[in-house]
Amino acid sequence: MENQFSQERKGSEVIVVTSGKGGVGKTTTSANVGTGLAKLGRKVCLIDTDIGLRNLDVVMGLENRIVYNLVDVVEGSCRIKQALIRDKRHPGLYLMPSAQTRDKSAVTPGQMVKVIEHLKEQFDYIILDCPAGIEQGFQNAIAGANRALVVTTPEVSAIRDADRIIGLLEANGFKQIDLVINRLRMDMVRRGDMMSAQDVVDILAIPLIGIVPDDENVVIATNQGEPLVGSDSPAGQAYSNIVHRVEGKEVPYLNLDRGISFWTRVTGIFHKA
Amino acid sequence: MRHFFRRRSSRQVAKDRLKILLISDRVNCSPEMMELIKNDIARVISKYMKIDSDNIEILINTRGNKSGRTVKPSLYANIPIVDVSVPELHTESGK
């Protein structure tokens, strides 16, 4: 069955999830997009490229099943297959964890490309969770990728870093760079105290692929180690939409403005520039 | 009620700050060099008309605005003119 499937599929997509700034939601986005694609029946390999500070395993709830990791693979201490952790909840979903006790210099971009080339034979999607920063960890993460999701929050510092990252991705020949705006708070946007999704898109000038509202369910899901994509929560729905857009489908944007009174809409005019 | 009296929302402040910030981030030349370019442009233009040289804005765009595609960088200069009618073109040719 799986073999049949992999023969039919088109070439695999290698997507790097990156942001520049730390703490904006790269790992959460990687986990949810990867899980969401697996829920659609795709074969997905998530790779944590943050060597020394691994997190994707915890967000995925797979931290107790790690035996080998990415560094073991590139050093030849194990076969690729041995380092892949299968997520029992979703057929077709695998995680390649990072090493916790090593540093970024343990892997080179060339080695990453080799590992990815090998994984491409078996997976529809390879999703790389990039570390913060623009040093070697970033170079490793983008080396084998052909597509990028840039995650930002509607804050000055995160957008500035995202802009820098977009510049670097373009300089590295990336043709498909899409923007995920995370932790948007519509109540603050309405008050004029947060940049809107449109403001951020205007500044960064790359295609938008998703808006994830600030949602406490993300924290709860992370506590439980189970990505909330597809669940009946605002963020769960938003991630689900991103997954479909990653697959190339057109999905309308969630109405984040639900429940605003007429008065707020009227007074909202005054907050606009 | 305070909203009605507030001049600029923090959203607007953030947008304005980012616009300025990203111009210098995207350009690979230092603020000093931008200043030199600005002064040179001002010097040339002021030969022909009276300009407000304190309020010249120059910026280099490296990215397309709407399409998101990379475009060739271009330099924009916004030079406020005080008086267009400068009668005597004496500076160079006034021998």
Q: Give the number of A-B residue pairs with CB atoms closer than 8 Å.
A: 60
Tell whether A185 is within 8 A of chain B (Cβ).
Answer: no
Q: Which helix (H) or strand (E) holds B14?
A: helix B10-26
Residue to test with chain A: of B18, B23, B59, B69, most A Cβ within 10 A:
B18
| Residue B32's pLDDT band (cuts 50, 70, 90) | confident
Tell whether A271 is within 8 A of chain B (Cβ).
Answer: yes
- Rounded to the nearest 5°, which phi and psi values hold at A88? -65, -20
Residue to test with chain B: of A159, A187, A201, most B Cβ within 10 A:
A159
Q: Bigger pLDDT: A216 or B23?
A: A216
| Residue B66's pLDDT band (cuts 50, 70, 90) | very low
Q: Token pair of A180, please?
A: 């995920």
Asked if the model's pLDDT at residue B68 lies above 70, the reply is: no
| Sheet strands (E) in chain A | 13-18, 44-48, 85-86, 93-96, 125-129, 147-152, 176-184, 208-213
Name the DSSP letter for residue A211.
E
| Sheet strands (E) in chain B | 50-51, 57-63, 70-78, 81-83
Q: Provide the shortest C-alpha distance from residue A267 to chain B (in Å).
A: 9
pLDDT recorded at residue B85: 72
- Rounded to the nearest 5°, which phi and psi values hold at B42? -60, -40
pLDDT recorded at residue A4: 45
CA distance A150 to A17: 6
Q: Token pair of B77, please?
A: 């200069």
Chain A: residue whose CA lies nearest to B71: A170
pLDDT recorded at residue B88: 62
CATH code of the domain made up of A2-271: 3.40.50.300
pLDDT recorded at residue A9: 53
- Rounded to the nearest 5°, which phi and psi values hold at A228? -95, 5
Q: Is A262 in a helix, a strand, or coil?
A: helix
Tell whether A193 is within 8 A of chain B (Cβ).
Answer: yes
Q: Provide the shortest C-alpha distance from residue B75 to chain A (in Å).
A: 18
pLDDT recorded at residue A260: 46
Please, are residues A79 and A53 in contact by the beta-carbon 8 Å criterion? no
Average pLDDT, chain A: 91
Please, are residues A48 and A54 in contact by the beta-carbon 8 Å criterion? yes
Q: Token pair of A13, please?
A: 């997509």
User: A238, A226, A271, A261: which is closest to A90 by C-alpha?
Assistant: A226
Tell whether A160 is within 8 A of chain B (Cβ).
Answer: yes
Largest CA distance in chain B: 66
Domain assignments of chain A as residue spans, ordered by start? 2-271
Q: Provide the shortest C-alpha distance from residue B15 to chain A (in Å).
A: 7
**What's the whole-number mean pLDDT along residues B27-54?**
85
How many CB atoms neighbour CB B74 within 10 A? 9
Tell whether A267 is within 8 A of chain B (Cβ).
Answer: yes
Asked if the model's pLDDT at residue B5 lies above 90, the reply is: no
pLDDT recorded at residue B69: 41
CA distance A135 to B85: 55
pLDDT recorded at residue A264: 46
Do the chains contact at B11 and A164, CB–CB below 8 Å?
no
pLDDT recorded at residue A261: 47
User: Which of the residue ranges A28-32, B47-51, B65-69 would you say has the lowest mean pLDDT?
Assistant: B65-69
| Residue B28's pLDDT band (cuts 50, 70, 90) | low
Q: Provide the shortest C-alpha distance from residue A155 to chain B (in Å).
A: 8
Q: Provide the shortest C-alpha distance from residue B10 to chain A (in Å).
A: 5
Instruction: For Cα atoms B67, B25, B72, give the angle at the middle one, nearest 5 degrees.
Output: 40
CA distance A226 to A217: 11
CA distance A86 to A51: 20
Residue to test with chain B: of A21, A159, A195, most B Cβ within 10 A:
A195
- Which residues, in sequence order, are CB contacts of A215 under 8 Å at separation 6+? A233, A234, A235, A236
CA distance A212 to A253: 10
Q: Provide the shortest C-alpha distance from residue B30 to chain A (in Å).
A: 16
Tell whether B5 is within 8 A of chain A (Cβ).
Answer: no
Chain A CB contacts of B4 below 8 Å: 270
Domain assignments of chain B as residue spans, ordered by start? 29-86
Q: Which residues of chain A have pLDDT under 50?
A: 1-8, 259-261, 263-273
User: A14, A59, A24: which is closest to A181 by C-alpha?
Assistant: A24
Q: Token pair of A26, please?
A: 């790269």
Q: Is A46 in a helix, a strand, or coil?
A: strand
| Residue B54's pLDDT band (cuts 50, 70, 90) | confident
What pLDDT, in 10s, does the model give residues B6-22? 578 999 999 999 988 88
Chain B: residue whose CA lies nearest to A165: B26
**What's the whole-number mean pLDDT along residues B62-85?**
68
ipTM: 0.78
Tell whether A155 is within 8 A of chain B (Cβ).
Answer: yes
Q: Within the 25-64 window of chain B, which residues sit less than 8 Å (CB to CB) from chain A?
A: 25-26, 62-64
pLDDT recorded at residue B84: 78
Q: Residue A210, Cα to own-chain centre: how many angstroms?
A: 11
Q: Token pair of A237, please?
A: 């729905």
